[in-house]
Amino acid sequence: MSRRSKHRHAGGPVPAGTSGPRPLVAIVGRPNVGKSTLFNRLAGEPLAIVEDRPGVTRDRHYADTLILGREVVLIDTGGFDPHSDDPMQQGIAGHVRLALEECDVVLAVLDGAAEPTQADREAVQLLRRSGKPVVYVANKADSNRAAWESTSHYTLGLDGLIPISALHGRGLGDMEQALFDVLPEPTEHEAFDLDIPRVALVGRPNAGKSSLVNRLTGEQRQLVDDRPGTTVDAVDTYYEDGETRFVLIDTAGIRRKRAVDDVGVEAMSIFQAIRAMERSHVVVLVIDAHAGAAEQDAKIAGLAVDRGRALVVALNKSDLVDRDTLAKSMDRTREILAFCPWAPLITISAKTGKGTKTLIGRIGDAAAEHTKRVTTSDINKFFEEVLAKHPPPTMHGRETRLYYVTQAEVRPPTFVVVTNEPEGVHFSYQRYVTNQIRERFGFRGTPIRIRYRPKKKADPDER
């Protein structure tokens, strides 16, 4: 049994580099019961749109956060209304069912200010059939009286119900403790030596991920079909060629055999990407060169960047398009993924093998850059040059001084800059420093983090 942390949830993003996959916690419930408000409260920042009308949350939102010190991935789902004839609501219901299949724990939100409805009864029945641990909360219980009145939901046959107010934070401590108690036990990365880079192949369905695994391994390891969603589950495959070794993590379009619409398949690709990234060091985003990059690809790339994973972008099926189409596809991909220009973009064909050797090289380079460390003396010599050429601007009439910098972590490379005014370093100057570090030291294929912290009394006096 693991030691249970007693630290309170602090909100905000979770640092990358956990020892094992983070559990997925799905927030579900009827429209307008306050799921997005609760999601924002737990995430520590307003990530989900909140508006007092049903159906505002039309897609899932994801956030890495902490539940009593335990790292989890939080999923905000749209309102589930099984009686609605609205195609939009029906699509949301499908997404909720997918979330139930993929998540580890369910946080079911009921409206504590209203009597239970038939939709609530059907939702509870669906949750029971899912076989997943469920924590039921009655939201909008803003007072003791409202909390007492919310007990009417026990008529749904619930074993337990926690009255909360997502808006005011009431009862969230009890809710987090209940969630913490049903989270799966932490697990370490399994199977392969952790010194060997883990490479997750992710992307939209039918981009050619499984074909690429077969091409790289020279074996028919994965089921390959022209229809989207034919990979049954995430599969790990060991790759070795001379001194190059890594573990390929193929991801599934769908996890179970069943009829599912295009929206469902796209949604499932996000779940699979999250699962694979949690166990990976390098992410290869595979994009169909003919279809080109889309918003979904940007979401997946964003997940990799947020998790501090190295990233390589591969335009697959380049043998099926002409030169002009390929050039346009590359331009569009660079435009859509403009937030990570450091990620190498290459064209490949899993079918013919064209570009796959280059891909292997890019993966190896990205893995090496992901773990690269710059000595403190080298980074500070460089930093002195940066400050001499372009010192930070003053903020609110006060001079911002940067004293020294050191690299604190790898995977991803993380630097700490000691300053007199952490809040006074303008974001444009932060971007400038990041670009200068990349220009001098490389780090191609990996995100880098730069944190600004105040100078402590124990720090050396400024010269």
**Residue 314 C-beta-side C-alpha neighbours within 13 Å:** 32
Which of the two residues, 200 and 18, has the higher pLDDT score? 200
Q: Is residue 387 exposed (0-12), middle (13-18) or buried (19+ Cβ within 10 Å)?
A: middle
Structure tokens at 428: 């444009």
- pLDDT mean over 105-121: 91
CA distances from 38 to 6, 7, 80, 112, 188 (A): 21, 20, 16, 14, 30
pLDDT of residue 47: 55
Q: Is residue 261 exposed (0-12), middle (13-18) or buried (19+ Cβ within 10 Å)?
A: exposed
Locate CATH 3.40.50.300 in the chain: 24-182, 198-370
Residues in the chain, how many? 463
Return the number of other C-beta atoms located less than 10 Å from residue 91's C-beta.
17
Which of the two residues, 265 and 334, has the higher pLDDT score? 334
CATH of domain 24-182: 3.40.50.300
Which of the two residues, 81 and 333, has the higher pLDDT score? 333
- The predicted-structure confidence for 155-209, as pLDDT tens digits, reads as follows 999 999 999 999 999 999 999 999 999 999 876 544 444 578 999 999 888 898 8
Q: Is residue 462 exposed (0-12), middle (13-18) or buried (19+ Cβ within 10 Å)?
A: exposed
pLDDT of residue 45: 66
- pLDDT mean over 291-312: 91
Backbone angles phi, psi at 250, to 5 degrees: -80, 145
Backbone angles phi, psi at 116, to 5 degrees: -60, 145
The DSSP code sequence of 148-177 is HHGGGGGGG--S--EE-BTTTTBTHHHHHH
Check if the beta carbon of residue 414 is closer than 8 Å to that of residue 446. Answer: no
If pLDDT is split at 50, 70 and 90, which confidence band does 76 have? confident
Average of per-residue pLDDT values in the chain: 81
Out of 225-234, 238-247, 294-303, 388-397, which region has the weakest mean confidence (pLDDT)? Answer: 225-234
Residue type (1 letter), 58: R
pLDDT of residue 213: 86
Out of 169-178, 233-242, 351-360, 405-414, which region has the weakest mean confidence (pLDDT)? Answer: 233-242
pLDDT of residue 18: 42
- pLDDT mean over 59-77: 81
Locate CATH 3.30.300.20 in the chain: 376-454
pLDDT of residue 269: 64
> Is pLDDT of 225 > 50?
no
- pLDDT mean over 293-304: 90
Name the residue among 73, 84, 78, 123 with its Cα closest to residue 96: 78
Check if the beta carbon of residue 463 is closer than 8 Å to that of residue 380. Answer: no
CA distances from 345 to 10, 285, 330, 342 (A): 37, 10, 8, 9
**Residue 212 C-beta-side C-alpha neighbours within 13 Å:** 31
**Residue 53 C-beta-side C-alpha neighbours within 13 Å:** 1
> Is pLDDT of 6 > 70?
no
If pLDDT is split at 50, 70 and 90, which confidence band does 95 have? low
Looking at mean pLDDT, say which of 66-80, 197-211, 308-322 comes out highest.
308-322
DSSP state at residue 424: G
CA angle 227-231-233, nearest 5°?
A: 155
- pLDDT mean over 27-56: 71
If pLDDT is split at 50, 70 and 90, which confidence band does 79 have? low
Which of the two residues, 61 and 363, has the higher pLDDT score? 363
Strands 198-202, 282-288: pairing is: parallel
Task: Give the residue carrying structure tokens 């994801």.
Answer: 62
Phi-psi sector, 450: left (phi>0), alpha (psi -120 to 50), beta: beta
Distance in angstroms (rounded) separating the CA atoms of residues 277 and 251:
10
> Is pLDDT of 271 > 50?
yes
- pLDDT mean over 277-302: 91
DSSP state at residue 15: P
- pLDDT mean over 333-352: 96
If pLDDT is split at 50, 70 and 90, which confidence band does 219 have? low
pLDDT of residue 151: 92
Q: Is residue 333 exposed (0-12), middle (13-18) or buried (19+ Cβ within 10 Å)?
A: buried
Name the residue among 429, 433, 452 with its Cα closest to residue 441: 433
If pLDDT is split at 50, 70 and 90, which confidence band does 88 have? very low
Name the residue among 250, 366, 373 with its Cα closest to residue 310: 366
If pLDDT is split at 50, 70 and 90, which confidence band does 358 have? very high
DSSP state at residue 14: P
Residues 6+ apart with CB under 8 A from 365: 344, 444, 445
Name the residue among 78, 102, 99 with its Cα closest to residue 90: 78
pLDDT of residue 125: 87
User: What percentage of the chain exceeds 90 in pLDDT?
Assistant: 48
- The 10 Å CB-count burial string (b at 16+, else e) for 197-217 is bbbbbbbbbbbbbbbbbbbbb
Element (H, E) at 145: helix 144-149
Rg of the chain on CA atoms, in Å: 24
The fold adopted by the segment(s) 376-454 is GMP Synthetase; Chain A, domain 3 (3.30.300)
* Options 3.30.460.10, 3.40.50.2000, 3.20.20.450, 3.40.50.300; CATH of 198-370: 3.40.50.300
Distance in angstroms (rounded) separating the CA atoms of residues 107 and 128:
13
Which of the two residues, 97 and 358, has the higher pLDDT score? 358
- pLDDT mean over 364-390: 94
